[in-house]
A and B are shown apart, each in its own frame.
Chain A
């Protein structure tokens, strides 16, 4: 019975959308008003209320996948439906669905093949699945948004990369007892156990918090799972392999002999104005190769472009290396293809170009063997034992592509059990993740809003730019009722923000039609807020958070003087989202800004969104007030003693 209204609304939305598409001129673009109307019609519920959970969870959304040791079964991590699907590789039929939790992200098969470890990033748990009984046998609590997961070679110790706490938790794989946490980089997310079991690599979706307007830097955190003489007992970090000019770093793969490793990542050029989009790009899609084979060829690491001169392959995510080291396969979540690279040709080319070719888009023609079209938003990839077959999880059409790696052809496509009808929400998500609208397929919304959030970078977005109006990338979670959008508050709604503006500034080619823009609006407006980990419990605050709340709401300063309304935290940052949706000059205008009048940003998940201020000049919440508020224009704060400022920040961490 609960489904009926939703289905009815979806049907109504489809009819309304089709009508709109027919009546709008696609070539003329879509007016925001029309898109707003379409979005309202397409929305499964009223635009000012939350979406139903049923709508959120109905699609499988395969994100990662692994083969059983005998190759007869695929374990498919379904992100949105929150289960592991066990799929027969022979028949393509789903044998079992194992419910796990919310927003699944990482999966690992124990070395002996007896257990699957699955991270549930919004539940802060790692589930243990017995691969014989296909039952969940344990759930371990791991705070900090667990993402990637591996064990050591013995299977006795579990390593979990945590995206929000920026660390790797080390657990007893049998009991789940946490042994220690190792400092990783920002947004720790994907992990690899090396072929010899002596190293664990962790990649990060956010770059390090560097100095303002400096090139992004990331790292691969290299962990020894075992004690080494003269070092801390047990697992410890042995190296931090720098990834210069890298942000948004995803999967790592290693050859069976351990001599060749590859990691997929973005190569942002965020310091130059986006006006230069057509001059070579703002966001390249690259691989970095490392290991003895690479050392032998070039004496270090190689950064390898995957794009071409006039065609980009956005969102390089999954990587696999065939056992014979002849090929590297890379999934492109924004381009809906799998790139096949000839390893010998690549190493030969690299050897001939010792100075590097990371930004030479003509290079890929020398080593790319094929681009294999697959389903929508291909993400995880795994190979069978011989490397003859590759399985690719197509997240946004709920299919698995089976590729013959020798012919670079898709042999068949396995459809997962999922609703046949595609909702507006789902279509909007597909639009959000595709790069097909971008100039030469350069990037899509998700290239900067990684996993529908942010990228931790500042950008020079304006075509009149050349260093004017630098902006920090803002979080998209729970943005309903926070309009207007854009730091200058120039866009009254999402259709304006994502329609005309995006078409003009970003895509420069194909416009959205009315339904597409409406669907995209529905999706963006529906991106949920992740659970807040700072809260001690529902409706509870710690003593420090309580004190901070008092400061946030205070009307009198430490000297007993009344604080003018405009200078109180909770005047501008009012309401449940922490914004009164108005613009103010809080004294943060830089010489690069045309105006100091800025939209009041919402406080949703504010602790996670560094850097801060409109241009990302404040690296931490503290710096907003200790460095960038000398005249109390950004709230009365200069009377606060350090204890109070700490309390205020503890409170903000609960928002």
Chain B
């Protein structure tokens, strides 16, 4: 009886700080590096493919299946050893890998590589890739392009046929209705699949690294990542991030939100309200009101989680693990779990049951959605 009472008290004590705070997801992070199977600690991208996890690293494309890592290299046909971006064709199961030396398709173990020399690919440096139907949209260092897997035709999108001033494209998010392309130095491009017309969103103050007024529009011309889901554009820059609903912009800056850094590498919208942010100072989650940040402490490196509520009150949450590094480059979801690509390893965030209990219902706070098959990677 005493034992039971003691356990109950401990549980209550553990739950109290959380219960007082917004029910933000908590994870146990399991980290992978070269020490336990990755070919390199620099992980640029991550992709969940059912029970398989793909990791684009600086030294090959690694895949984890049944608990074992296997690495594809240029010897297997990979276009280049540095894999910057990944996308899954959910219809066929093929994985598309954007590398520093071309675009590769991994299909049931066979790798076909497309380069600027052997195909219509516009440039070998492929920062972003997204699959929609039979179209593989590719963001490269020399414009975007689209490969039709049914006809083999390539279409180019650059300064000659779109409002793209600069052609260094960084990320692409393709959906059946709209395609968004994040352009380094040229804002955000929008392609309407129906009308086949382009539109463009720029920073109202040009390339100035300032925000003139709150919710002014796109924060900067250097757009690093974009995610389009449920009619909402989530756009990241190195100077802050934005949400755009087709009419109004909402900006996220460290000064007035829970964003741990304005320097954002990657962004993954989940639905109209919720979004994940990969910054240079940790992984962040926004549920439409509150923020959570997951990282090794910036001061002592110890695992850290903080929750910021709508009033701006920041509460530390006791945790025993954190993502492998603060510099987050890629995010993907596996059910309630999260996978995070960082500059020093890949992290598997295993969703802890406590917050589900606290939140009242496990389904009330899923971190991913099944309705967004084509968010940018």
A binding-site residues for B, Cβ under 8 Å: 143, 165, 167, 180-183, 219, 221-222, 229-234, 236-240, 534, 544, 619-620, 622-623, 626-627, 642-643, 646, 649-650
Contacts and interface: CB of A to CB of B under 8 A. Distances in A.
Interface of B: 50-52, 89-94, 105, 107-110, 112, 116-120, 122-123, 134, 142, 149-156, 158, 160
A627 B117 contact: yes
A620 B120 CA distance: 10
A643 B156 contact: yes
Given A237-B107, A239-B109, A181 B117 contact: no
Nearest to A626: B117
A452 B364 CA distance: 64
A620 B152 CA distance: 12
B107 A623 contact: no
B112 A233 contact: no
A140 B208 CA distance: 57
B154 to A, nearest CB: 6
A230 B52 contact: yes
A544 B150 CA distance: 17
A527 B358 CA distance: 75
Contacts of A232: 89-93
B156 A646 contact: yes
Given A620-B118, A622-B119, A649-B120, A219 B91 contact: no
B119 A181 contact: no
A183 B107 contact: yes
12 contacts: A165-B151, A183-B92, A183-B149, A221-B108, A230-B51, A233-B91, A239-B108, A239-B109, A534-B151, A544-B153, A642-B123, A646-B156
Contacts of B142: 642
A236 B92 contact: yes
Contacts of A649: 120
Contacts of B109: 239-240
Contact of A237 (B92, B118, B155, B158): B92
Contacts of B149: 167, 181, 183
A29 to B, nearest CB: 44
Contacts, number: 83
Give the interface SS of chain B, mostly helix, strand, loop or mixed: loop
Given A232-B91, A236-B93, A240-B110, A643 B52 contact: no
A350 B133 CA distance: 46
B91 A180 contact: yes
A236 B108 CA distance: 9
Contacts of B116: 626, 642
A474 B169 CA distance: 40
Contacts of B110: 183, 219, 240
Given A619-B118, A646-B156, A237 B112 contact: no
A183 B112 CA distance: 10
A642 B150 contact: no
A626 B117 CA distance: 5
Given A165-B152, A181-B150, A622 B120 contact: yes
A626 B118 contact: yes
A99 to B, nearest CB: 29
Contacts of A238: 108
Contacts of A642: 116, 120, 122-123, 142, 156
A237 B95 CA distance: 12
A642 B150 CA distance: 22
B219 to A, nearest CB: 31
B338 to A, nearest CB: 18
Given A230-B51, A643-B160, A182 B92 contact: yes
A165 B150 contact: yes
A229 B66 CA distance: 13
Contacts of A230: 50-52
Given A221-B108, A240-B109, 6 more contacts: A143-B150, A165-B151, A181-B92, A233-B91, A623-B118, A642-B156
A231 B90 CA distance: 9
Contacts of B134: 181
Contacts of B50: 229-231
A289 to B, nearest CB: 21
9 closest residue pairs by CB, A with B: A230-B50, A232-B93, A230-B51, A237-B108, A626-B117, A236-B93, A646-B120, A620-B118, A240-B110
Contacts of B107: 183, 237, 240
Nearest to B157: A643
Contacts of B152: 165
A643 B159 CA distance: 11
B119 A620 contact: yes
Contacts of A237: 92-93, 107-108
Contact of B154 (A143, A623, A646): A646
A230 B50 CA distance: 4
A182 B92 CA distance: 6
Contact of B117 (A182, A222, A229, A622): A622
